[in-house]
């Protein structure tokens, strides 16, 4: 634990509590969840300023804010979600583990806002819950998935799981590969420390699922793009 961790508990947690309470009301008025998203994006930008995290976005020109995408990125830190929400100009919903939906206020707000809560595992029910994300895509929202399925402790890219690419195939929207560089140093895995520093979000041109012969080819191409950008920008 350090001073920034103290700020998290003293400042950010109370703001999150009151913000989520307000979000429950907003979600009843605005059933689309768009108002919740705007509040979440503000929270992401506020978190970055509070913890002295500088975010550089590379490739912003590679997507259209008026369109929707399946956003796929690597996952190396707890800060990834708020930083993505605050830095990308997309009406974004996240795929999250089912257990988060059971947290009072927090989980209720996520469900009402259209976030996709999935069962973990490799069985049919887990895949069925994941494929619910394709229905969100069809409604014109962007959806984010971490295809590694868990955080990387070292920042190195972990093997991708196939499920995210089945969502891409069924949802019919372009895949937007995003590489997050440096977040493992901001919020190290298995640590309560929060560090300041710089994170880069590298946004690659979108990929059309219909341009690939199968799910495996789309998965390999996406993984290669994210891995190559991770290696390229980590050195700069």
Q: What are phi and psi of 200, to 5 degrees?
A: -110, 135
pLDDT band with cut points at 50, 70 and 90 for residue 96: confident
CA dist 70 and 207 (Å) reads 10
Rounded Cα distance, 184 and 235, in Å: 15
- Closest-CA residue to 85 (of 138, 144, 29, 30): 144
Q: For the chain, which domains are there?
A: 3-234 (3.40.1130)
Going by pLDDT thresholds of 50, 70 and 90, the confidence category of residue 33 is confident
pLDDT in tens, 105-122: 888 888 888 899 887 766
The reported pTM is 0.92
């Amino acid at each position: 634990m350090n001073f920034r961790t103290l700020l998290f508990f003293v400042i950010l947690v109370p703001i999150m509590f009151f913000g989520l309470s307000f979000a429950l009301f907003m979600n009843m008025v605005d059933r689309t969840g768009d108002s919740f998203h705007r509040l979440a994006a503000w929270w992401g930008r506020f978190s970055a300023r509070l913890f002295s995290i500088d975010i550089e976005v590379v490739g912003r020109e590679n997507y259209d804010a008026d369109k929707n995408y399946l956003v796929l990125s690597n996952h190396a830190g707890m800060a990834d979600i708020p930083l993505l929400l605050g830095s990308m100009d997309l009406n974004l919903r996240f795929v999250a583990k089912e257990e988060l939906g059971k947290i009072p206020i927090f989980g209720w707000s996520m469900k009402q806002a259209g976030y996709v809560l999935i069962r973990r595992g490799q069985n049919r029910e887990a895949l069925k819950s994941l494929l619910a994300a394709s229905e969100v895509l069809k409604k014109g929202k962007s959806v984010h998935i971490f295809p590694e399925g868990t955080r990387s402790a070292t920042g190195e890219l972990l093997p991708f799981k196939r499920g995210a690419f089945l969502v891409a195939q069924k949802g019919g929207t372009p895949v937007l590969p995003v590489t997050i560089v440096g977040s493992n140093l901001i919020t190290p895995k298995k640590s309560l420390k929060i560090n300041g520093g710089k994170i880069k979000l590298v946004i690659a041109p979108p990929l059309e699922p219909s341009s690939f012969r199968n799910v495996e080819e789309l998965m390999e191409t996406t993984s290669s793009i994210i891995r190559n950008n991770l290696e390229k920008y980590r050195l700069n």
